[in-house]
């Protein structure tokens, strides 16, 4: 998906919501366990319930890989079920020496046909570059994450700047706003204005709203641009709205609530 297509989808729908399909088989409604592929059955129903309110879906691949072959098959079927109009993110956090990253890029961009993949940047340019060489695909690079451990490295000073600032400013030169995004955690809202100065035209994938306590209002006011420039990911607060048979209706209601709040900020 191109940048212009993503922006157009956001403007038409007046939503920058990304639904996280971090599907934990131990948390889905128990009645689904009778299906041959309960993870896919859950995902399919969540997608059908929320697709009118979001512009993308993010699959945390760990939840699928943990199940072995069955999980990988569920991921493939889930990707096939997501409408082509929606941005598809593999939250895989890959990044290795160049020839290995090239194989990761092939796996997620060609075999699975994701639009984007999250990338760990700390092995340097040769570990990121293979993800930037695909036309109309995106590398979403870890910038400033929402976890407590961000203080261990990302929020340490290297010279006059934080390490995360060096990562963002450097990688902004490797890629372009057409193929590079950054992961910026919603719980780091105090840093958003500074980050926008470092990368004024890039999109941010923003996890941490909802269950992790991030504020949609605060993020939107500080980080949104004329092209929107943010995708706010919400996982648990939507997909686990209920663990009973009404989970579809509850997920749709929760997604609608986020959609309605986002309508205020999309121009």
Active-site annotation, residues: 93
Answer for the pair 1, 87: CB distance below 8 angstroms, yes or no. Answer: yes
Answer for the pair 233, 209: CB distance below 8 angstroms, yes or no. Answer: yes
The radius of gyration computed from the CA coordinates of the chain, to the nearest angstrom, equals 18
Q: Which residues pair with 182 in a beta bridge?
A: 141, 204
H or E element, residue 30: none
- Write the DSSP symbol of residue 209: B
Q: What is the Cα–Cα distance from 86 to 122, expressed in whole angstroms?
A: 29
Longest dimension (CA), the chain: 57
Task: Please report the DSSP string for 68-115 in residue order.
Answer: THHHHHHHHHHHHHS-TTSEEEEEEEE--SHHHHHHHHIIIIIIS--S
């Amino acid at each position: 998906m191109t940048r212009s297509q993503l922006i157009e989808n956001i403007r038409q729908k007046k939503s920058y919501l990304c639904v996280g399909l971090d599907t934990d088989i131990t948390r889905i409604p128990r009645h689904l366990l009778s299906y041959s592929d309960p993870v896919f059955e859950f995902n399919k129903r969540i997608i059908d319930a929320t697709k009118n309110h979001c512009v993308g879906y993010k699959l945390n691949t760990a939840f699928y890989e943990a199940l072995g072959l069955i999980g990988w098959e569920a991921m493939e079927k889930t990707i096939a079920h997501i409408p082509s109009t929606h941005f598809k993110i593999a939250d895989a956090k890959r990044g290795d020496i160049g020839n290995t990253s090239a194989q990761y890029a092939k796996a997620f961009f060609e075999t699975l046909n994701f639009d984007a993949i999250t990338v760990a940047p700390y092995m340097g340019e040769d570990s990121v570059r293979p993800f930037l060489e695909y036309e109309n695909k995106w590398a979403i690079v870890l910038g400033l994450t929402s976890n407590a451990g961000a203080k261990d490295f990302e929020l340490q000073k290297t010279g006059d700047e934080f390490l995360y600032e060096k990562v963002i400013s450097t990688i902004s030169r490797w890629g372009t706003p057409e193929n590079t995004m950054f992961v910026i955690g919603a719980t780091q809202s105090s840093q958003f204005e500074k980050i926008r100065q470092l990368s004024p035209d890039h999109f941010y994938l923003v996890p941490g709203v909802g269950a992790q306590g991030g504020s949609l209002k605060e993020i939107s006011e500080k980080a949104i641009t004329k092209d929107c420039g943010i995708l706010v990911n919400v996982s648990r607060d939507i997909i686990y709205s209920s663990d009973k048979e009404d989970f579809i209706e509850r997920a749709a209601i929760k997604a609608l609530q986020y959609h309605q709040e986002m309508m205020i900020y999309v121009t």
